[in-house]
Amino acid sequence: MNFNWEKVKEYQDILYFKQGGIAKIVINRPHKRNAFRPQTVFELYDAFCDAREDQKIGVILLTGAGPHTDGKYAFCSGGDQSVRGKAGYVGNDGVPRLNVLDLQRLIRTIPKVVIALVAGYAIGGGHVLHLICDLSIAADNAVFGQTGPKVGSFDGGFGASYLARVVGQKKAREIWFLCRQYNALEALDMGLVNKVVPVEQLEAEGIDWAKEILAKSPIAIRCLKSAFNADCDGQAGLQELAGNATLLYYLTEEGAEGKQAFLEKRPPNFDEYPWLP
């Protein structure tokens, strides 16, 4: 579909666009079924940070480039096994990393709505990436699964515990222990995705959902996201939720009075603010 996306910046492994309150980040390594290497993750992190800082952006679409030369699609096939070293994925600097974990945390805590648009394979660490997005819309050709125990890896963080929150303990254990692949309707049935649409409608559907969200209150959405996270994320989740309480307090006259009094070198006067029941 033609949405007049404007390219934001040139990257090697990803594409990054914006238009009308929506950012679109595309993993662009079709020769590897959009597997990520450290460079890919650094670029994704950079684009997400840009979208976070842009006050016009409320929704971020995360997707994979496709179709590929053989007609297949992929959202992301996880860590690039061809650069997997002894202690992680090795970049051009020779350093082994698992920096996708940083990206996972950023996607979860960014105070904007992240929607995964999944066409084709969402496998391994690519499956975890869609999982941690706030919403997932699947194309009818989407394929979901974990491969860790088959390829000698596992994600015991969000990839295990949050998956179990989403699909339940039994199903999450099945997904990891058997390493099967699941189609879009099976994913819908287990609550892993929000909707399934024909592949050619995937982006349009994502844009429709984004526009609906953009018509809502930014602070309400922000607080809800942190509230959902707080339920799973322990003290880090509470920090995020409480940060929003502080933000709201700063926005009140009562909060501003404390700062103003300090700057004016006088005692604060909170008399006109009630002790609400």
User: What is the secondary structure of 169-211 as a DSSP string?
Assistant: HHHHHHHHHH---EEHHHHHHTTS-SEEE-GGGHHHHHHHHHH
Using rule CB under 6 A, residue 77 touches ligand S0N: yes
Choose between 79 and 237: whose C-beta lies nearer to ligand S0N: 79
Identified binder of ligand S0N from the candidate list 24, 32, 108, 222, rule CB under 6 A: 32
Q: What DSSP designation does 79 have?
A: B
- Amino acid, res. 39: Q
13-47 burial by CB neighbour count: b if 16+ within 10 A, else e?
Answer: bbbbbbebbbbbbbbbbbebbbbbbbbbbbbbbeb
- Residue 10 DSSP label: -
Stretch in the footprint of ligand S0N (CB under 6 A) among 56-64, 122-130, 240-248, 249-257: 122-130
Told to check if 80 binds ligand S0N by CB under 6 A, we report yes
Q: Which stretch binds ligand S0N (CB under 6 A): 53-61, 94-102, 229-237, 263-271?
A: 94-102
Q: How far apart are CA 144 and CA 187, in angstroms?
A: 7
Tell me which DSSP letter residue 24 carries: E
Any bridge partners for residue 27, and if so which? 14, 64
Which of 38, 58, 79, 206 touches ligand S0N by CB under 6 A? 79
Choices 14-22, 49-57, 75-83, 212-220; region in contact with ligand S0N by CB under 6 A: 75-83
Q: Which residues are annotated as a binding site for substrate?
A: 33, 77-81, 89, 121-125, 147, 153, 250, 265
Q: Which residues are annotated as a binding site for hydrogencarbonate?
A: 146-148
| Residues engaged in binding ligand S0N (CB under 6 A) | 32-33, 35, 72, 77-82, 98, 100-101, 121, 123-125, 147-148, 151, 153-155
Q: Which residues are annotated as a binding site?
A: 33, 77-81, 89, 121-125, 146-148, 153, 250, 265
